[in-house]
Each structure stands twice: as C-alpha cells, then as structure tokens.
Structure 1
C-alpha cells in the first residue's frame, strides 16, 4: 500500500503527532511525507520526501497573531503552485493533517482523502467554541484542509469520529513527580514581554522554554532553556504545573500527567480560543487577555487557586491508525 501523509508545520504539535503516527503507518506500507510550513522548532523524526513553504501563521512579539503578515503573505501563491505540481493519484490513501497544499491538490486531481488531526474535530458542532464566534476563524477551520472524510482528536470524544489525544510514548510511560518549579512554554511570546514579571516572583522557580535562546542558563529563580522535545518533556514530567498556550498537544500531555495547568491562548488565534473554551469547561484556568507586565499577579492567583486537575485519557494510537487505513476512504 502506498500512503501519502501531509503534516502541517506551523507550531510543533503536528510534527509531534506525526512522530508517533509514522512508525505505525509504515507497518501498512510505503509512506511518503510532505512537510508544509516553516514556523516550527521541533525536529521531525521521519524522512520528508516533499516540502512546501505552505501557509504558516506568524506572531507579534507578545503572543498575538500577526494578521497582516499571515494573510497577505505571498506564500499562498507558492502553495497553490506546489499543489498543482503534487501528484497524488498513485497513492492508495491520502492522510492530511491540516495542510492547504494537499487539500488543493486532492481537489484538482479528484483524489479522496481523510482530514486527520485536531482541526478535523471542528467539523462537529458539538466541539466547544468561545462565546464570541469568529466567522473568519470558523471558515478557516472548516475549509482550510477540505476533505470528504474526517477523523478528529480532542480533549474529549465530543462526537462520533473524534478520538482522545495522542500522547507521546516517553510521556505516557513516564512516572511523573512533583518538583520545586513550574514549567513555561509560550513559544509565541518573546522573553522581554514577561521577564520582569517572572523576576518579581523570586521565591518561585521556573523552567522557561523560549524560541529566542540558544543555550540554557540559570538567571536566579529562572532557568531559561531553548525549546527541545527531550528537555521540555523531562521538565513537564517533573514540574509542579505548566503555563502554556491554547494549543492541543502540550495541554493534553500536561493533563494526562495530572499537572496543574494555566492556558494562555494566543490573541486572535481562533483555534486556540476554541481549545481554551473546552479547557475552561473542564475546569482549567484560562487567561484570555494577559497583561505581561503584570503577569506575576496572574501566576500568583493561579498557584493559590485550589482546583482539581481534570482527568484526561489518551488515544490507542495503534487502533486509531488501523481505523484510518483499513477504511481506505475510497
């Protein structure tokens, strides 16, 4: 069987998921991968046959989507060009994890595909949304990676065809402990935005993972580290709690490990707003409009809040891949 698997490379969640999926897919046949986008820091653990710049989201310094740079980027013209040159008719199954290029190529060539991943879950109206619906954001979720079939992932099985999150093996098989520090993973926020606030909390220790540092260093109560899968995973397994964005994979791992969680969704990022609405329903603390110059007060309030960590199950990845492959979606 020939399998085509397209992976969105805005952020690290899609690549992290693919790292778990690809070895299982290879049991069923030959797998060719396309990596679409360039706004990521996690190294793929699989061979990439096709690459496209795709269409990536870009952010301002302090955690807000840069709409001008994203929408008016010339990348959309390159993505359509890549779609026209991508031949998919020879594949037995096309799996698309939220990639615009593959979606357009399938449409042009009339090749059926399955939209797989977290964004695919939003085809269901049962999946939580924020109180204020963003029509543009909703349009993107529904049509950015169009496909005739959908297999979604979310914090809960809100509808048929929506599975629990995929949790990495080194997380699911770990033995978590409670250290003396809190982990921070806010990759869209530059250091200067919240550095002073963290310094004010000089009696609280932090492991702070940022995209704008190359080497780990200790700065009094803050250990500042570059983003890496191994380093962050170890920190997460042994932390007291996690401060992160409104993504999907990282909050899922934190809840699976039973960690106290503070979600700070990226401004103007509709999918993260939706995720935070779901997390809020589960009892997780959400910070929708953070003032980073006063971030210390938000952290103190969160730490002092006595809230139970909602339980979260993980998907049976082997069974999920079998479910996708055996149906073939022809």
Structure 2
C-alpha cells in the first residue's frame, strides 16, 4: 500500500511518531510517497527528521501558537488572532497539499494531528482514506481525565482535536497506560507510545545530573535561577534557541545544548531524573528508560496540563507549576515506588507491533478502489 504523511511540526513528538510508523511501514514493504510537514518560522525542523524518510518532504505553513515576549507562556488570544490573519497562507497550504496528494495518489493519508490535514479531509473526502494518530485523541476514551479548571482552553483543545480528525476512517490514540475497557467511539483504537529504536536500545543507568528539555526558550531563565541558587545540582539542558551556540555553559553546573537527537537520548539514558514541559513523547521515552519526570506544563497550553495529569496518574513522575528543587529530591527518593509502573509501561509499549499488525490487517481487509 502507498501512504502519505501529514505531520504537525509544532511538536517534535508528532515527528517522532511519524518516524516510528514510517519505519514499521517500510519494514513491511509498504511505500511512503511523500511527507507533508506543517511548520512555521518559530521552530527549526531537525535534521534527524529530514533524514528519516526516503521520499520528498514538502513543507507547508500551518497554524501555530504565539508566545509572550519572554517566549515562555502561550497567549491564546494572540494565537487565535495571528492565525486568523494568516488564513490566506493556510488556503495556499491546502492547495499545495492537494497538489501533492493528487500527484502521489496514496491509498491512505496518515495525519499526525495537523489541523490543515483535518480541514483537507473535510474538503476532499474522496481523495483517499484518512487515518489520524496522536496522543490527543485519548480524550475520546472514557477513562481520560481532563485537567481542571478547563474553561475556554479546554473547549478550544477539544475543537482543535475534532478538526484534525474530520472524516477519519480510523482514530488511533496513543496512551501511557493500557486501557482496561473499550471505547464506545467507532473506529477508535488505543496504542502504546511510539518509542524510537534508538531509545529502546539505549542502556540506562543513573548518573549525577538532571536532564532538562524546554520547548520554549523562555524557560531557560527559570532553569538558570535553579542552577544558580542550588550549585550542588548539576543540570544538562536542551533547548531550541537558534541564536545561541551549539553548546552554552553559563554556570559551572549548567550546560545548554541545541536540539541534538543522538546526544539527547544519550543524556536521557544517563540522567538522575528528567525535567520537562510535559511533552508526551519525551515522557514516554523517559518512562521506557525508567527515569522519573518532573513535568511543568507550558503556561497557557491546556493540552500539556492534561499530559502532566495523565503522566502522573501513570506513575511517570510529578506534575508541578515550576521546577521546584524540593520536588527534585522527592522525585529521586520515590524511584522504588515507580518500578511497577515502569514495568507495566514497558510491557504495554512492547505491544506496539501487534497493534500495528492488527491495523494493517484491517486496512488490507477493507481496501477498496478510491476515487481520485
């Protein structure tokens, strides 16, 4: 079968998911005709993603968050207004996406939580079959817990998720925990996280430093103050600050690195514990490597509040409003109590290939000619 990927480029987790699924598809002899990446000037596309696919990668401009001047908190009002102003650009993006789909004639379009991908499926429902993959779709499972209070942010999160899966013939939700009961939603499945091979083959041990990954570079000031006020704590941090050097060491106990896939996995496997802004995929990778995580959701990003709540429920670590050093001590002291959670997670993650095989069989059984 021939596939085409649409990948939301705002979060690196969606890129990771596409890479893992791509590897499984190619391993079984399927074809990936093209990858369409919804990106913006706010994030640099990592080289490891560009090198992961033996096919063209087309970039389109896709809706994005707007942060405050400190590049820390999400400004929801400004985000809505900025994206409304860019509607002509997004219309051009949908036209470009359609050109790629028409040229490639895929049997299936896999959308990794890109909003324009959902809008495209609504406008052109007969171009192909559409399948969506993402941890956000877990909101459709009965056992999912929403962060409180929800308010307008919760409603916008649910609306965005709904748009991304318009006209989807299959919804695949990713979860840190294995569900004990089926969902009532039609054509809905829950899969374990997409943990990369490079993580699965890493050899973890507990080093003497804390690892930090910050999505928005504005959180660097908070990490700097933590290292400055507690010189006995060693921190290795990764950020996406294009104007800074590859390696930056402002303090003897604090080093910042630009995003580097290989180095990040190496440090994740060696750290004492992991500090994160509650991105789903990196939490899953930390759990696989048996690293407890302190999760501080990006301010104003409701989805990450849900991620932190869900991950804490799964035994991944602790959710917090800031990187509190007292919580770091609590995190490392509670390692033994999380051993069972890590074991259950690993067992659940190892079922990924069987979930994939079951879906592939469903695809083969239901395959019919598609109007182009």
Asked whether the two chains share a fold, i.e. TM above 0.5, the reply is yes
Check if 1:13 corresponds to 2:21. Answer: no
Check if 1:75 corresponds to 2:96. Answer: no
Q: CA RMSD in A?
A: 2.4
Question: What is the rounded CA distance, in whole Å, between the counterparts of 2:289 and 2:20 in structure 1?
Answer: 18
Following superposition, the deviation at residue 250 of structure 1 comes to: 0.3
Distance 1:109 1:41, change over 3 A: closer
Match in the other structure for 1:228: 260
Unaligned stretches of 5+ in structure 2? 183-188, 368-372
Match in the other structure for 2:173: 152
1:57-136 equivalent positions in 2, closer than 5 A: 57-60=65-68, 61=70, 63-73=72-82, 74-85=85-96, 86-87=98-99, 88=101, 90-111=105-126, 112-133=129-150, 134-136=154-156
1:166-185 equivalent positions in 2, closer than 5 A: 166-185=194-213
Q: Are the aligned partners of 1:182 and 1:205 in contact in 2 as well (CA < 8 Å)?
A: yes
Match in the other structure for 1:250: 282
**C-alpha distance after superposition, 1:90-149 (max 9, x if no partner):** 221111111122222221122331111222322223222113232222222222342242
Match in the other structure for 1:138: 158
**C-alpha distance after superposition, 1:251-303 (max 9, x if no partner):** 0111111112101111221211111111222342110x32x7xx445545545
Q: TM-score, normalised by structure 1?
A: 0.89
Aligned partner of residue 72 in structure 1, secondary structure: helix
1:306-321 equivalent positions in 2, closer than 5 A: 308-309=337-338, 310-311=341-342, 312-313=345-346, 314-321=349-356
Q: Are the aligned partners of 1:165 and 1:315 in contact in 2 as well (CA < 8 Å)?
A: no
**C-alpha distance after superposition, 1:31-79 (max 9, x if no partner):** 3211112335533122443221111223333632122442122334322
Q: Are the aligned partners of 1:200 and 1:296 in contact in 2 as well (CA < 8 Å)?
A: no
Unaligned stretches of 5+ in structure 1? none
Runs of 4+ in 1 over 6 A off after TM superposition: none
Following superposition, the deviation at residue 3 of structure 1 comes to: 1.1
Following superposition, the deviation at residue 193 of structure 1 comes to: 3.5
How many aligned positions are there?
A: 326
Q: TM-score, normalised by structure 2?
A: 0.80
Q: Are the aligned partners of 1:58 and 1:69 in contact in 2 as well (CA < 8 Å)?
A: yes
Distance 1:21 1:129, change over 3 A: same
Check if 1:42 corresponds to 2:46. Answer: yes
